Structure 1
Amino acid sequence: MKSIRILLVLFTALVISNCKKSPETAESNSTAITFKEDSTSFTAEQKTLIQETILASEKEIRGLLPTLPDSIEVAVEIVDWNLDVVGGVTGRTDTNSPPFVAIQISEKYPGGVKAAVQTALKHTIFHEFHHLSRGWAIQDNKYGPGISTAAVNEGLAVVFSEVYTNQTMEADSPPEPEIAHQWMLEILDLPVTANYQHWMFEHPDGRMSIGYRTGNYLIRKAMDKSGKDILELSKETPSNILMLAGY
């Protein structure tokens, strides 16, 4: 099965363009939520649930991450992708001005759109908003290239979301510690030009989401060894986090 994150990379540019054209928008003082209406439209009940979930999540996150941008655009659409390994919801962050988050919700998730929203929308918003607070995105970030840097930043977002939503997703779960350690050593040996899709999404040897899963392991290890919580660790540079984890 193709990695859902590869699909996300391939379709994000189109999604962002189309979502920003939609006239149907809900707003808080700092977050504007836009619904992309295409062949599949959201019901009024689904829109209300999505709006309430995003705005309540934003309020909670702002109390945790003071560096979250003042103004955020969130575009939401229904897709027919198989997103079961992430609870039926996925997303992507763009740190350009204004900061932007694209959210895709699968109509094929068991129970449909409503079930996916209830299962994973909060988890996804916490993950993507952490990226915004830290200034991390695939194509626009302040940390430079390299899979180790990506693993650190994605790991931070994964653990932040897990800690504060009490939700975990199959796609982000680390392997056994011994295996995760070996994966971390592999990542550290990579050149900065290593193939991003192979190491973060789908590797030619069949492994999936290596960077995300290893990043989860890495951040948990750094927390254990340093005594820092996820908020404290989120203020550190990737090199400091690697050092705190013992690498």
Structure 2
Amino acid sequence: MFKALSLALVLGATGTTTVALAGQQVVGAQSAVAVSFQAGETHDYTASERALISDILNQAYQITKADFPQLADAISVELHPINRPGVDALGGVTGRAQRPGVLVLEMSVTYPGGPEAAARAGLLRTGLHEMHHLARGWTIENNAYGPGIAIAAA
């Protein structure tokens, strides 16, 4: 059985960040990153994990947007807990730019110290990498350049 909780990181006019549950309105603010936390058989993200993950993804978004202004003004992230110890060697996080504006990230529940430790170890790096793919149009679905490795040099 899978459950999902969506949170949105909201950037206020003063640069403050607010975390809102999906459906909540925040007056005078624009949502930058909407995270859908997927619950798996072995893990359901806690409130502290959600807050840390959302903060790191917002940081990745702000850094990427500064370097790649063409990055969409709002993106969605699906975050899945995984029980795949091989990902632990990568910092506990892997992912892909699924389609324009959408990232799919997977976080190891077997990473030493759990998902919070994995978030601290690998989420910023993976978020930056995958958001740069979004900004460049390099996505699994609806790739702006069509098929082939030649796009890597673009």
Counterparts of 1:93 and 1:136, CA distance in 2 = 7
Structure 1 moving runs of 4+ over 3 Å: none
Residue of structure 1 equivalent to 2:112: 110
Does residue 27 in structure 1 map to residue 9 in structure 2? Answer: yes
Counterparts of 2:36 and 2:141, CA distance in 1 = 22
Counterparts of 2:82 and 2:139, CA distance in 1 = 22
Residue of structure 2 equivalent to 1:55: 58
Residue of structure 2 equivalent to 1:92: 96
Q: Secondary structure at the match of 2:140?
A: coil
Residue of structure 1 equivalent to 2:19: none
Contact kept, 8 Å, 2:40 with 2:82, in 1: the verdict is no
Q: Secondary structure at the match of 1:30?
A: strand
Q: Secondary structure at the match of 2:67?
A: coil
Counterparts of 1:54 and 1:109, CA distance in 2 = 19
Q: Secondary structure at the match of 1:27?
A: strand
Instruction: Tell me how many residue pairs correspond in the alignment.
Output: 131
Contact kept, 8 Å, 2:34 with 2:76, in 1: the verdict is yes
Which protein has greater RCO, CA pairs closer than 8 Å, 6+ apart?
Answer: 2
Q: Could you state the TM-score of these two structures normalised by the residue count of structure 2? A: 0.76
Match of 2:122 among 120, 123, 128: 120
Deviation at 1:127, TM superposition (A): 0.5
**Structure whose residues are more often strand by fraction:** 2
Identity score, percent = 34
Deviation at 1:94, TM superposition (A): 2.2
Deviation at 1:109, TM superposition (A): 1.4
Q: Could you state the TM-score of these two structures normalised by the residue count of structure 1? A: 0.49
Deviations 1:49-90 (A, max 9, x none): 101111122112211110101121111121101202311100
Residue of structure 1 equivalent to 2:141: 139
- The alignment's C-alpha RMSD in Å is 1.8
Matching of residues 186-197 of structure 1 within 5 Å: none
Counterparts of 1:26 and 1:139, CA distance in 2 = 23
Deviations 1:177-212 (A, max 9, x none): xxxxxxxxxxxxxxxxxxxxxxxxxxxxxxxxxxxx
For structure 2, the residue ranges without an aligned partner over 5 or more in a row are 11-30
Residue of structure 2 equivalent to 1:66: 69
Task: Assess, with a 3 A threshold, how the Cα gap between structure 1 residues 34 and 71 changes in structure 2: closer, same or farther.
Answer: same
For structure 1, the residue ranges without an aligned partner over 5 or more in a row are 1-17, 154-237, 239-247
Counterparts of 1:90 and 1:126, CA distance in 2 = 12
Counterparts of 1:138 and 1:103, CA distance in 2 = 13
